[in-house]
Amino acid sequence: MNAHAFEPLIVGFFCHYCAYASADLAGSMRLQYPPNIRIIRTPCTGRLEVDFYLRAFENGADGVLVAGCLEGGCHFIEGNLVAKRRVNQTRDLLAEIGIEKERLRMVNISAAMGRPLADIITDMIKTVRELGPNPLKSTSGNKKEQKDFVQI
């Protein structure tokens, strides 16, 4: 497969206070990064369960980027530390089922880090582009069947 023909879809779970504000800053600064990411604002990354990451892959995401507050700077005290543990558990689970764990990444970012966030998004898309499409896409079959599976 031609690497340029494949454009990965990345789902980004961004905390409201830091990472989402950083994405907003990147936009205000008119920083360029690939449009392949779909950002979902969450109150805190610690709120996300392992199921959220797995469902993103089941529903066709080629990669998942979790962006939370800097360690020690979480607005909910330890939310980003909880998220880090869950992301690491999910990465181990992905490796066990034969999906590259590099498809899931967590970063800690402050609200003032627009440029580093743009670089992180660009690097994530580059990494997933090199890995190729999500292997679950080729085995998912009919989209309706996949949706029914996710709702169970």
What are the DSSP calls for 87-139, one per residue?
HHHHHHHHHHTT--GGGEEEEE--TT-HHHHHHHHHHHHHHHHHH-S-HHHHH
Asked whether residue 1 is domain-assigned, the answer is: no
Q: Which residue has the higher pLDDT, 146 or 4?
A: 4
Asked whether residue 45 is domain-assigned, the answer is: yes
pLDDT 10s digits, 27-64: 999 999 899 999 999 999 999 999 999 999 999 999 99
In this predicted structure, the answer to whether residue 91 has a pLDDT above a threshold of 70 is yes
* CATH number, residue 105: 3.40.50
Band (pLDDT 50/70/90 cuts) for residue 138 is low
Domain boundaries, position 83: 10-151
Asked whether residue 85 is domain-assigned, the answer is: yes
Strand order of the β-sheet with 10-15 is 37-42, 10-15, 63-68, 104-108
Q: How many domains does the chain have?
A: 1
In this predicted structure, the answer to whether residue 142 has a pLDDT above a threshold of 60 is no
- Please list, in sequence order, all residues whose beta carbon lies within 8 angstroms of the beta carbon of residue 96, skipping any fewer than 6 positions away: none
